[in-house]
């Protein structure tokens, strides 16, 4: 009896020691700490609420096993101490810069906690819900806040003075410098968030080649996008999306790279929560505050083993937004995507639809892809459809895959392995695509 008892103590002590050793081997014991983040309410709106950040390497550092949040071009993980320092520095350096007016320690902490909280949620969606072994094996992704540098495939950060970027977000691929030199080495995949910048809507509209508020087009938009955002904002978004004035280097810097109009509405609702009021006639977007934009960027990373995020195409962006909407799991958003799809469906003549929406070029087509993919959930069921669409990435490339041939073929090929009953399901998919003019 006594022996058994002491054996048990010994065994427990050994187990405890082993546990400590394992933790020591990992270098840290994960902790959880509550931080304010932006969350969706049941009614579809947003609020700022306290949530636990789980799996932190330390209570005061914005780093987990999967992500590391850093400030601008810095390499060190953002900590509470560093945030206090940044807030103090900006008070003196940028005291006359309106861009910095509300960038205090509270705001920076909210941004850091928010990107980490939602990036983890997106990561969990792919590893737990989709059981993706590929996402489980991802390297630790660096998330940059407040970075204005353009991306350079030879340098990672383009020169500070070259076209600073605002109001958008993007994912970059791993790469290495053209000429390695001290301080400039290879980099892994990263997600970048730009700071917000308030730009007068009039200035944006003035740079457009033609009047974007053309009455006929506006009517078509109202039918296709049953949204509640202000008409002025909606038209500005369209205007920004429409523009291909790359040489101006201005308009292309104001919205996030690609993505769909449907998810952008959420962005503007977050804006109201974070800023309390929307300044009329000004366009701005703090992308790090918007859960759906964080999901969208992480989805690009999760798809990037086949679909490189170096180019915005309707298929690439529509796929990323399909997963962004799936992670968000909001009935209200789902309803909007369906309403949009139905409006497009009602239109009947797809050729006419694409011509009418040519003004928005790839953007309207990204929405079309999102609606198309979302509808597959009704045909095959939510989980089988999501698995099928994730599998389709293996047959897609960013550069060469269009909707009509590339996406259709990829879905049917993915079905061969991902569908429960490939023969039956391929027929269902065929029928569904045909009904939608494909
Ligand atoms: Zn994108």
pLDDT digits (tens, 9 = 90+) for 67-115: 999 999 999 999 999 999 999 988 888 777 766 667 889 999 999 999 9
Question: What's the token pair of residue 430?
Answer: 């065929």
Question: Which ranges of 304-361 would DSSP assign to H, the alpha helix?
Answer: 314-328, 331-346, 350-356
Residues 207 and 158 in one domain: no
Domain closes at, from 172, 193, 214 = 193
Distance 366 CA to ligand 1 centre (A): 10
Residues 207 and 254 in one domain: yes
Res 16 pLDDT > 70? no
Distance 32 CA to ligand 1 centre (A): 30
The alpha carbon dihedral of 202, 207, 213, 218 has a sign of: negative
Say if 370 falls within a structural domain.
Answer: yes
Three-state secondary structure string covering 255-290: CCCCCCHHHHHHHHHHHHHHHCCCCCCEECCCHHHC
Rounded distance between C-alpha atoms, residue 239 and residue 210, angstroms: 9
To which H or E segment does residue 216 belong? helix 215-224
DSSP-assigned beta bridge partners for residue 199? 283
In degrees, rounded to 5, the angle at the alpha carbon of residue 385 between the alpha carbons of residues 384 and 391 is 90
To which H or E segment does residue 242 belong? helix 231-242
Lowest-pLDDT choice from 72-86, 301-315, 382-396: 301-315
Residues 232 and 306 in one domain: yes
Say if 409 falls within a structural domain.
Answer: yes
Are the CB atoms for 247 and 255 separated by under 8 Å? no
CA separation (Å) from 39 to 42, 203, 294, 396? 10, 32, 12, 33
Rounded distance between C-alpha atoms, residue 120 and residue 64, angstroms: 9
Distance 286 CA to ligand 1 centre (A): 16
Res 353 pLDDT > 70? no
Residues 153 and 222 in one domain: no
Distance 320 CA to ligand 1 centre (A): 6
Distance 393 CA to ligand 1 centre (A): 15
Q: The domain that contains 187 carries what CATH number?
A: 3.10.170
Query: Which pLDDT score is estimated for 393?
Result: 96
Confidence category of residue 60, pLDDT binned at 50, 70, 90:
very high
DSSP-assigned beta bridge partners for residue 51? 35
Lowest-pLDDT choice from 35-39, 115-119, 282-286, 395-399: 282-286
Question: For residue 36, which of 27, 26, 46 has the smallest C-alpha distance?
Answer: 46
Are the CB atoms for 72 and 145 separated by under 8 Å? yes
CA separation (Å) from 136 to 70, 82, 187? 22, 30, 20
Confidence category of residue 354, pLDDT binned at 50, 70, 90:
very low
Residues 368 and 352 in one domain: yes
- What DSSP string describes 118-146? HHHHHHHIIIIIS--HHHHTPPPEEEEES
Residues 162 and 268 in one domain: no
Domain closes at, from 170, 193, 216 = 193
Residues 408 and 366 in one domain: yes
Query: Which pLDDT score is estimated for 101?
Result: 66
Distance 170 CA to ligand 1 centre (A): 6
In three-state secondary structure terms, 207 is coil
Q: Who's near 287: CB < 8 A, 6+ residues apart?
A: 167, 168, 169, 193, 194, 196, 256, 267, 293
Say if 3 falls within a structural domain.
Answer: no
Say if 18 falls within a structural domain.
Answer: no
Say if 134 falls within a structural domain.
Answer: yes
Residues 395 and 327 in one domain: yes
Residues 181 and 239 in one domain: no
Total count of domains within the chain: 2
Rounded distance between C-alpha atoms, residue 382 and residue 370, angstroms: 14
| CA atoms within 13 A of residue 162's CA, in its CB half-sphere | 9
Residues 263 and 213 in one domain: yes
Question: For residue 331, which of 39, 128, 42, 129 has the smallest C-alpha distance?
Answer: 42
Confidence category of residue 247, pLDDT binned at 50, 70, 90:
very low
- pTM for this model (two decimals): 0.86
Look up the domain containing 138 and give its range.
31-193
Query: Which pLDDT score is estimated for 356?
Result: 45
- Owner of token pair 């977007």: 285
Confidence category of residue 357, pLDDT binned at 50, 70, 90:
very low
CA separation (Å) from 338 to 140, 324, 438? 35, 15, 18
Distance 313 CA to ligand 1 centre (A): 9
CB count within 10 Å of CB 327 equals: 22
Distance 213 CA to ligand 1 centre (A): 25
Domain closes at, from 176, 193, 210 = 193
Say if 231 falls within a structural domain.
Answer: yes
Distance 5 CA to ligand 1 centre (A): 60
Distance 308 CA to ligand 1 centre (A): 11
Rounded distance between C-alpha atoms, residue 428 and residue 434, angstroms: 10
Left, alpha or beta for 361 (phi > 0: left; psi -120 to 50: alpha)? left
Confidence category of residue 402, pLDDT binned at 50, 70, 90:
confident
Query: Which pLDDT score is estimated for 429?
Result: 96
Question: For residue 267, which of 282, 256, 277 has the smallest C-alpha distance?
Answer: 256
Tell me which of 79 and 211 has the higher pLDDT. 79
Rounded distance between C-alpha atoms, residue 254 and residue 252, angstroms: 6
User: What is the rounded average pLDDT for all residues in the chain?
Assistant: 81
3-state helix, strand, coil in the chain (%, to 5): 55, 15, 30
Say if 419 falls within a structural domain.
Answer: yes
- Owner of token pair 């740079």: 207
Question: What's the token pair of residue 67?
Answer: 């992500």
pLDDT in tens, 151-208: 998 899 999 988 888 888 999 999 999 888 887 889 999 999 998 888 777 776 666 5
Distance 324 CA to ligand 1 centre (A): 10
Distance 79 CA to ligand 1 centre (A): 28
Say if 6 falls within a structural domain.
Answer: no
Query: Which pLDDT score is estimated for 38?
Result: 94
Residues 314 and 233 in one domain: yes
Distance 179 CA to ligand 1 centre (A): 29
Residues 205 and 148 in one domain: no
């Amino acid at each position: 009896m006594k022996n058994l008892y002491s054996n048990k103590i010994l065994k427990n002590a050994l187990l405890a020691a082993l546990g400590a050793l394992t933790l020591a081997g990992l270098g840290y014991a994960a902790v959880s700490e509550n931080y304010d983040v932006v969350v969706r309410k049941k009614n579809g709106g947003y609020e700022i609420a306290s949530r636990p950040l789980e799996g932190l390497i330390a209570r005061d550092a914005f780093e987990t096993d999967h992500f590391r949040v850093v400030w601008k071009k810095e390499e060190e993980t953002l900590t509470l101490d560093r945030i206090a320092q940044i807030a103090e520095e900006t008070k003196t350096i940028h005291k006359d810069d309106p861009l910095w007016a509300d960038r205090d320690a509270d705001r920076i902490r909210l941004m850091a906690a928010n990107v980490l909280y939602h990036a983890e949620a997106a990561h969990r969606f792919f590893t737990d819900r989709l059981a993706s072994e590929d996402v489980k094996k991802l390297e630790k992704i660096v998330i940059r806040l407040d970075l204005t540098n353009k991306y350079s495939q030879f340098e990672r950060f383009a020169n500070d003075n070259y076209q600073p970027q605002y109001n958008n977000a993007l994912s970059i691929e791993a790469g290495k410098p053209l000429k390695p030199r001290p301080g400039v080495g290879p980099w892994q995949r990263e997600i970048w968030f730009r700071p917000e910048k308030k730009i007068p809507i009039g200035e944006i509209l003035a740079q457009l080649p033609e009047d974007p508020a053309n009455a006929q087009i506006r009517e078509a938009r109202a039918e296709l996008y049953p949204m509640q955002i202000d008409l002025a904002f909606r038209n500005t978004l369209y205007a920004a999306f429409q523009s291909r004035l790359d040489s101006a280097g201005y308009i292309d810097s104001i919205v996030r790279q690609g993505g769909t109009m449907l998810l952008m509405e959420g962005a503007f609702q977050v804006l109201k929560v974070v800023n309390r009021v929307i300044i009329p006639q000004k366009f701005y977007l703090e992308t790090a505050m918007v859960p759906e934009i964080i999901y969208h960027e992480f989805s690009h990373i999760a798809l990037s083993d086949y679909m490189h995020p170096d180019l915005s195409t309707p298929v690439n962006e529509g796929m990323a937004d399909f997963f962004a909407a799936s992670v968000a799991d909001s009935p209200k958003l789902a309803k909007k995507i369906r309403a949009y799809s139905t409006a497009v469906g009602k239109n009947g003549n797809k050729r006419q639809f694409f011509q009418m929406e040519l003004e928005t070029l790839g953007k309207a087509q990204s929405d079309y892809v999102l609606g198309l993919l979302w509808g597959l959930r009704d045909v095959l069921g939510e989980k089988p459809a999501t698995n099928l669409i994730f599998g389709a990435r293996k047959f897609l490339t960013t550069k060469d895959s269009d909707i009509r041939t590339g996406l259709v073929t990829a879905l049917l090929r993915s079905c061969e392995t991902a569908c429960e009953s490939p023969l039956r399901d391929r027929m269902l998919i065929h029928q569904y695509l045909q009904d939608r003019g494909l």
